[in-house]
Amino acid sequence: LTAWPDDLPKWETLDPESKKLFARQAEVFAAYVAYSDNEIGRVIQAVEDVGKLDNTLIIYIEGDNGTSAEGSTLGTPSELITIEGLTIPVAEQMKFYDAWGSDQTYPHMSVAWSWAFDTPFKWTKQVASHFGGTRQGMAMSWPARIKDAGGVRNQFHHVIDIVPTILEAAGIPAPMMVNGVAQK
């Protein structure tokens, strides 16, 4: 981890109820990640099952920013409460413990989890001056064309790079105009 910010509570300073809630927040986030991973794997397996994986370009972008700090230092069962500038005490949040992550909540985890999950980078999506706010993983696979399987690149990329990449891969020239707007 990067150096811990003074204004974020450390785990060992939390009371048992806060630890229980914060652990639940991380469990739900981990379940989301595991579920997403499984579903992405199912799609890739389906492509492989029909014998098309070698000539399929797969582009996976981990997210649009670092993890969210919108949950405040305590997290929240509802993003809308945080948007209003309110903080719900841990004891009140515990009422949502079993429903956390269900359709009855729109939760965000504690900023401390966001900080930890953005490791090895510093800060979160609300602080774009640091890589924790901006740097996200991306994976590309195309077995028939990309020969450096497992290769790691550290160059910056952006979502605006995806369409030109797909056009080039498909052998389609980039359009000169889109909806009446000249492209540069």
pTM of the model: 0.84
Asked if residues 21 and 97 have their Cβ atoms less than 8 Å apart, the reply is yes
Q: What Å distances lie between residue 79 and 32, 75, 85, 97, CA to CA?
A: 17, 9, 10, 15
Per-residue pLDDT reduced to its tens digit, 61-74: 887 777 888 888 99
* Cβ density class 12-21: b for 16+ within 10 Å, e for less: eebeeebeeb
Supply 55's token pair.
Answer: 């000539």
Q: In this predicted model, what pLDDT tens digit does every residue of 21-65 receive, in sequence order? A: 999 999 999 999 999 999 999 999 999 999 999 999 999 988 777
Domain ranges of the chain: 11-148
Question: How far from chain centre, in Å, is Cα 118?
Answer: 9
Question: What pLDDT is recorded for position 160?
Answer: 87
